[in-house]
Amino acid sequence: SIRAFKPERFYTVILNCKGITLSSERMDEKEKAEVLSGECGLVGQVLIVDACKKEKQEKAPALFDLTNLQREANRRLGYTAQQTLDYTQSLYEKKLVSYPRTDSRFLTEDMENTIPGIIAKAEKIVNGKATENKNIKSVINGKKVTDHHAIIPTASVDKANLEELPSGEREVLKLIATRLLEAVSAPCRYMETVIDADCNGHQFKAKGKQVIDEGWK
């Protein structure tokens, strides 16, 4: 489906109204957009039909399984799937991360008491911190763990000398540690504003958001 996808050009009319950017619906013909733009230019004003604000949350991402680690390493570091597996396997053999060939993104209940200590060690690796309010239970679900739990740093990760690790292994280890800190952190909270407007009988819309608490981000 992705390979067969053919992008199609579309047009929108943008109205800048004293700090609010309103956008029309998409149109498949440039001429239609030009006509609408001309009409709104002649009218010179818009009517705000509705405006609402809602507080929303963006939950922290789940822990890594192998596939998601490979995707993230490719997106952020440019590593191939095989490179990421090789780096993670080497880290596993050095007892710095858990078993890499897993399709689970959760931990088991018997690990809950050990996670705070691993979080503290992960914070040292990435020189960053999880949020003050941590939700460790969000990463615990034994029913969703098959043969192996999600990929996380091990309890002995603080014994690693990052400077001595090959650069690829070091960067993958930081990714894994960072994801643990993200996964147990509070959600990102933001206020979303949606404005509906009318210009000469045509609908326009604006969306904006203001972060209240960055949380895991």
Catalytic residues: 99
CB 89 within 8 A of CB 100: yes
**Strand, helix or coil at 100?**
coil
Nearest C-alpha neighbor of 180 from the set 139, 140, 213, 149: 139
Q: Which residues contact 208 (CB under 8 A, 6 or more apart)?
A: 192, 193
CA distance 179 to 216: 10
Question: Terminus-to-terminus CA distance in the chain, angstroms?
Answer: 32
